C-alpha cells in the first residue's frame, strides 16, 4: 500500500471515529430526554389512574369489577351498600346476584358484552345478600390486557327500584283511568285542538247507537260526525248551531239538555283543555237523564199534590224559623185558631198561642228542633176567641239544602173533645176506684157475716150429732155428714170469692222476683203424693212482679195438676221459653185431660169440671186474673186421658 493510500485510510478512520463519537453524544442526549419523558408520562399515568380510582370510589352509583368467570374483584362503597356484601371478607359471584326469572336475559346480555366489548341500558332484577329484590340499570364494558385479551369486566350499576315502582304505579293509574273512562256511565269524547277524536268510551257508542269499538273512532273528525248524527235529535239544526256556539266561546258548559228522536233526554257538558294560553283539546260528556227527568217531573207533580193536600187537610200546619217566628200556616190551622196567615205571620208562635203555664214546654221543644230532634207533645192554647183549646203537636226540624236546621214544622190536631173525654174518664175511674174499694170492703163484711151463721150452723150440727148419736139411725147420721160437707163447701166458696175479689185490688209494688227460688220453695210445702214427680226442666228466670200473686199462680196450677192426675206414675213438668218482651211458661201433666169444648170456659168464675167439695170453680179464674195483672195471656192444650199443658206468658 502506498503512503497516500495509507494517509487516506487514516483520515477516513479519523472521520469515522469523530462521527461515531458525535452519534454517541447525540444518542446519549436523546436517551436522557427519552428517560425524562418516560418518567413524566409514568407520573402522569399514575396521577390519572389515581384520579380515575377516586372517581370510581366516590361516584353515587355502584361500580363493580368482575373477572371473566363472574367473580367480583372490586366493589366501591356504593356497590357494597347496594348488594350488602363485603368482598374483602367473602367471595361473591354475579350468578348468585341474578334474579331467577331474569337469568336468561342476563346470559344473553353477557354474551353481548363479550361479543361487542360492552352493553348499555341493561335493566333487570337482582338479589341482595338479604335476598331483597331490587331493580338495577347497568352499563358495562370489557377490560383487555396489553395483548388485547379480555381479562375482566366493569360496570356502573344504578338502583332504579323506586323509579320502577313509580312507573308501575303510573301504569296502574293509567290503566285504572282508562278502564274508568271506558266504563263510565256517561259518554265521553276527548278531542284534540283540530277536533279529531283522541279518546271515547263504550257509553258514548251506546248512547248514539254507534256499532263500533271506541278505539276505532280515534282520529275521526268530530265536526263531520256531528253533521252525520244530527238526525238523531228532535231539532238537528239547533243541535249543530249550539255545538258551534259552545266551540266558539270555548267556555265551560254544564247541563245542556238535548231531546232525541227516540225520546231519550241527554245532558251535554263541555270543558276546554288549556295549557298555558293555548287550547290543547276539548272534553265533551253526554249523560242519559231520561229517568232522572221522569223522576224530577214526578217529584214536581208529587210536590204539587202534597202541597194541595197540606193546604186543605184537616190537620193544622205551621212553619216557624229558629226564633219561633211564624212563616206559614195552612187553611186548617186558620180554622183551628181563628187567625188568618196575614194576622200571625212574623209573630212568635209560643207567645201568640200558648197559655201562660205552658211557655216552658214551647221553649224546650224549640231547643229539641235546633238539635235535630223530632217529638210529639200536647199543648194548652188560646184561639182568637180566647177559648182554651188542647192541641196535639207533632214537630220536626226543617233543614236547608246544606243540612242546617233553619226552623221547624208542626202538625197540629185539635184534641179538645178527646181531652174532655179523658177528663171525664179520669173522673169515672176515680169514681170506679172508690166503688171498688167500697165493694171490696163490702165483700169482706159479707164474707164475715156469711161465715158467722155457717159456723154457728156447723156447731149446732156437731152438738146434735154428739148429743143424739145413740138415738139417730145411720140415715140420719149420713144426712148430718152431708150437711157438714155442704157447710164446708159453702165456707170454701165464700173464701174463694173473697180471694178472687181481692186479686187486683191490693196491688203491691212490683219487685224483682226469682221464680226459680220461689218455685223450689213452693214445691217443698205443697202436698204432692209419692207417685207424682215434679220436674223443673231448667232454672226459671227473674221477672218484675208481685211475689205473693206469682206464688199463688204457680201454686194453683200445680195443685190443679196434682188433683187431677189419675195415673199410677204421675208427672208434672215445668218449663219456659224466652220471648222478646215476655217469658212463656208451661206446666204439663199426664192427668185426666180436658175436653176441647171446655177450653174457653174453665177460666170463667164458678166453672168447675169436677164437682167436689175441693173444687169451687174459682181457682183458674184467679190464675187468669194474676196473669192479666202481669200483662200476659193464658191458654191450654189438652187431650182427655192423655194430659193437659197450661201455657201462660208474663212480662219481663
Q: What is the CATH number of the domain that holds 622?
A: 3.30.565.10
- 278 and 209 fall within a common domain: yes
Q: What is the CATH number of the domain that holds 148?
A: 3.30.450.20
Residue 242 lies in a domain: yes
For position 63, what pLDDT does the model report? 93
- 71 and 47 fall within a common domain: no
- 125 and 176 fall within a common domain: no
For position 466, what pLDDT does the model report? 80
Mean pLDDT by 10 residues, the chain (652 residues): 62 67 64 57 47 54 92 93 92 93 92 91 94 94 88 93 87 75 82 89 89 89 89 91 87 90 91 84 90 83 75 82 91 90 90 78 88 91 89 91 90 90 85 71 64 76 80 81 76 64 62 92 88 94 89 90 92 94 95 87 65 58 88 93 95 90
Distance between CA atoms of 553 and 534, rounded to whole angstroms? 16
Domain that holds residue 280: 168-293
With cell 232522572, the residue in question is 292
Distance between CA atoms of 61 and 75, rounded to whole angstroms? 11
Total structural domains within the chain: 6
For position 287, what pLDDT does the model report? 92
58: exposed, middle or buried (Cβ count in 10 Å: 0-12, 13-18, 19+):
exposed
- 407 and 524 fall within a common domain: no
- 22 and 80 fall within a common domain: no
Buried b (16+ CB within 10 A) or exposed e, 454-485: eeeebeebeeebeeeeeeeeeeeeeebeebbe
Indicate left, alpha or beta for 504 from its phi (over 0: left) and psi (-120 to 50: alpha): left
Residue 253 lies in a domain: yes
- 600 and 614 fall within a common domain: yes
**Collapsing DSSP states into helix, strand and coil, what is residue 644?**
strand
Neighbours of 113 (CB within 10 A): 19
- 446 and 568 fall within a common domain: no
Residue 128 lies in a domain: yes
DSSP 209-248: T--S-GGGGTT-BHHHHHHHHGGGBSSHHHHHHHHHHHHH
Distance between CA atoms of 208 and 414, rounded to whole angstroms? 59
Distance between CA atoms of 260 and 619, rounded to whole angstroms? 82
Distance between CA atoms of 581 and 225, rounded to whole angstroms? 70
Distance between CA atoms of 105 and 435, rounded to whole angstroms? 107
- 151 and 175 fall within a common domain: no
- 73 and 202 fall within a common domain: no
What residues form DSSP beta bridges with 399?
405
Residue 307 lies in a domain: no
- 580 and 635 fall within a common domain: yes
- 250 and 173 fall within a common domain: yes
Find all residues with CB under 8 Å of 368, minimum gap 6, and list them: 374, 375, 395
Buried b (16+ CB within 10 A) or exposed e, 288-326: bbbeeeeeeeeeeeeeeeeeeebeeeebbbbbbeeebeb
For position 47, what pLDDT does the model report? 46
Distance between CA atoms of 67 and 159, rounded to whole angstroms? 22
- Residue that terminates a domain, selected from 414, 430, 455: 414
Of residues 234, 239, 238, the one with CA closest to residue 225: 239
Distance between CA atoms of 560 and 452, rounded to whole angstroms? 29
- Whole-angstrom CA distances from 98 to 13, 395, 568 are 77, 76, 92
- 205 and 235 fall within a common domain: yes
For position 51, what pLDDT does the model report? 42
Residue 474 lies in a domain: yes
Residue 256 lies in a domain: yes
Of residues 67, 73, 153, 72, the one with CA closest to residue 116: 153
For position 159, what pLDDT does the model report? 93
- This model's pTM is above 0.75: no
Residue 298 lies in a domain: no
Residue 68 lies in a domain: yes
Amino acid at each position: 500500500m502506498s503512503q497516500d493510500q495509507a494517509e487516506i485510510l487514516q483520515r477516513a478512520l479519523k472521520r469515522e471515529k469523530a462521527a461515531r463519537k458525535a452519534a454517541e453524544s447525540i444518542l446519549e442526549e436523546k436517551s436522557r430526554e427519552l428517560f425524562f419523558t418516560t418518567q413524566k408520562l409514568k407520573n402522569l399515568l399514575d396521577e390519572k389512574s389515581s384520579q380515575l380510582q377516586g372517581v370510581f370510589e366516590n361516584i353515587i352509583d355502584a361500580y363493580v369489577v368482575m373477572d371473566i368467570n363472574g367473580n367480583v374483584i372490586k366493589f366501591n362503597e356504593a356497590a357494597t351498600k347496594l348488594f350488602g356484601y363485603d368482598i374483602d371478607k367473602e367471595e361473591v359471584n354475579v350468578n348468585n346476584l341474578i334474579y331467577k326469572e331474569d337469568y336468561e336475559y342476563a346470559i344473553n346480555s353477557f354474551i353481548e358484552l363479550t361479543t361487542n366489548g360492552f352493553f348499555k341500558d341493561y335493566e333487570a332484577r337482582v338479589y341482595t345478600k338479604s335476598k331483597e329484590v331490587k331493580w338495577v340499570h347497568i352499563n358495562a364494558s370489557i377490560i383487555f390486557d396489553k395483548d388485547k385479551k379480555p381479562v375482566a369486566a366493569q360496570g356502573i350499576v344504578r338502583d332504579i327500584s323506586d323509579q320502577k315502582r313509580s312507573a308501575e304505579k303510573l301504569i296502574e293509574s293509567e290503566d285504572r283511568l282508562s278502564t274508568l273512562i271506558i266504563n263510565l256511565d256517561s259518554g265521553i269524547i276527548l278531542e284534540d285542538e283540530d277536533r279529531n277524536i283522541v279518546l271515547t268510551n263504550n257509553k258514548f257508542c251506546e248512547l248514539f247507537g254507534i256499532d263500533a269499538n271506541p278505539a276505532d273512532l280515534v282520529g275521526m273528525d268530530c265536526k263531520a260526525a256531528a253533521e252525520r248524527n244530527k238526525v238523531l235529535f228532535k231539532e238537528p239544526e239547533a243541535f249543530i248551531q249550539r255545538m258551534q256556539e259552545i266551540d266558539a266561546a270555548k267556555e265551560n258548559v254544564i247541563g245542556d239538555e238535548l231531546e232525541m228522536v227516540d225520546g231519550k233526554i241527554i245532558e251535554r257538558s263541555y270543558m276546554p283543555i288549556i295549557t298555558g294560553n293555548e287550547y290543547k283539546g276539548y272534553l265533551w260528556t253526554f249523560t242519559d237523564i231520561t229517568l232522572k227527568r221522569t223522576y224530577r217531573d214526578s217529584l214536581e207533580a208529587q210536590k204539587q199534590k202534597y202541597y194541595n193536600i197540606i193546604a186543605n187537610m184537616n190537620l193544622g200546619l205551621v212553619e216557624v224559623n229558629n226564633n219561633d217566628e211564624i212563616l206559614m200556616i195552612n187553611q186548617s190551622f186558620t180554622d183551628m185558631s181563628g187567625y188568618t196567615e196575614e194576622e200571625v205571620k212574623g209573630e212568635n208562635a209560643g207567645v201568640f198561642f200558648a197559655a201562660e203555664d205552658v211557655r216552658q214546654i214551647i221553649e224546650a221543644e224549640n231547643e229539641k228542633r235546633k238539635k235535630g230532634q223530632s217529638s210529639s207533645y200536647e199543648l194548652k192554647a188560646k184561639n182568637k176567641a180566647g177559648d182554651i183549646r188542647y192541641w196535639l203537636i207533632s214537630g220536626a226540624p226543617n233543614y236547608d239544602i246544606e243540612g242546617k236546621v233553619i226552623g221547624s214544622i208542626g202538625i197540629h190536631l185539635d184534641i179538645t173533645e178527646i181531652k174532655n173525654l179523658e177528663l171525664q174518664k179520669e173522673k169515672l175511674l176515680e169514681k170506679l176506684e172508690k166503688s171498688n174499694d167500697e165493694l171490696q170492703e163490702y165483700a169482706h163484711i159479707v164474707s164475715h157475716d156469711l161465715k158467722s151463721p155457717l159456723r154457728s150452723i156447723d156447731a149446732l150440727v156437731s152438738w146434735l150429732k154428739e148429743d143424739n148419736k145413740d138415738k139417730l139411725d145411720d140415715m140420719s147420721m149420713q144426712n148430718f155428714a152431708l150437711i157438714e160437707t155442704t157447710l164446708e163447701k159453702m165456707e170454701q166458696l165464700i173464701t174463694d170469692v173473697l180471694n178472687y175479689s181481692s186479686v187486683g185490688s191490693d196491688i203491691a209494688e212490683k219487685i224483682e222476683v226469682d221464680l226459680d227460688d220461689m218455685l223450689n220453695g213452693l214445691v217443698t210445702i205443697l202436698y204432692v203424693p209419692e207417685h207424682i214427680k215434679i220436674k223443673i226442666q231448667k232454672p226459671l228466670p227473674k221477672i218484675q212482679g208481685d211475689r205473693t200473686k206469682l206464688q199463688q199462680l204457680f201454686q194453683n196450677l200445680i195443685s190443679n195438676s196434682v188433683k187431677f192426675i189419675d195415673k199410677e206414675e204421675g208427672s208434672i213438668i215445668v218449663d219456659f221459653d224466652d220471648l222478646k218482651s215476655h217469658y212463656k211458661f208451661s206446666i204439663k201433666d199426664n192427668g185426666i185431660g180436658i175436653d176441647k169444648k171446655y177450653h174457653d170456659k174453665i177460666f170463667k168464675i164458678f166453672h168447675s169440671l169436677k164437682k167436689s167439695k175441693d173444687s169451687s170453680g174459682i181457682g183458674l179464674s184467679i190464675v187468669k186474673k194474676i196473669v192479666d195483672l202481669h200483662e200476659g195471656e193464658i191458654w191450654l192444650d189438652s187431650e182427655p186421658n192423655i194430659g193437659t199443658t197450661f201455657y201462660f206468658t208474663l212480662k219481663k
